[in-house]
Amino acid sequence: MSRQRAAQLEYSEFQSAMLDEEKRRRKAAKIIAVLGHFLGAEDPARPLAGLTVADIGCSAGFIADELAGAGASRTFGVDIDVPGLRRAAERFGERVEFVCADGGALPFPDGSVDVLVFNHIYEHVVDPDAVIKDMHRVLADDGVLYLGLGNRLGVMEPHYKLPFLSYLPPAAADRYVRAFGRADNYYERFRTRGGLRRMLRDFHVWDYTFPVLASPERFAGGELFPGAVGRVAKSTLERAPREALRALLPIVPTYLWVATRTPRRPRGPVLPQPPEPVRTR
Res. 52: pLDDT tops 80: yes
Contact 13, 54 (CB under 8 A): no
What number is the average pLDDT over the span 40-65? 95
Give per-residue pLDDT as tens, 204-216. 999 999 999 888 8
Structure confidence at residue 244 (pLDDT): 78
User: Which class would CATH give 11-152+190-278?
Assistant: alpha beta
Give per-residue pLDDT as tens, 172-186. 999 999 999 999 999
Greater pLDDT, 198 or 224: 198
Under the banding of pLDDT at 50, 70 and 90, the label for residue 15 is low
Structure confidence at residue 224 (pLDDT): 56
Structure confidence at residue 50 (pLDDT): 96
Phi-psi region for residue 61, left (φ > 0), alpha (ψ -120 to 50) or beta? left
- Counting every residue written for the chain, the total comes to 281
Contact 148, 118 (CB under 8 A): yes
Q: What is the model's pTM?
A: 0.92
Q: What is the DSSP letter of 3?
A: P
What number is the average pLDDT over the span 240-266? 89
What number is the average pLDDT over the span 108-135? 97
Domain positions in the chain:
11-152+190-278
Least confident interval from 144-158, 211-225, 247-261: 211-225
Under the banding of pLDDT at 50, 70 and 90, the label for residue 226 is low
Contacts of 163 (CB under 8 A, 6+ apart): 155, 156, 157
State the angle between helix axes of 62-69 and 21-39 in degrees (0 to 180), rounded to the nearest 10.
40
Percent of the chain, pLDDT > 70? 88
- Rounded to a whole number of angstroms, the distance between the first and last alpha carbons of the chain is 34
Give per-residue pLDDT as tens, 67-102. 999 999 999 999 999 989 999 999 999 999 999 999
Contact 147, 260 (CB under 8 A): no
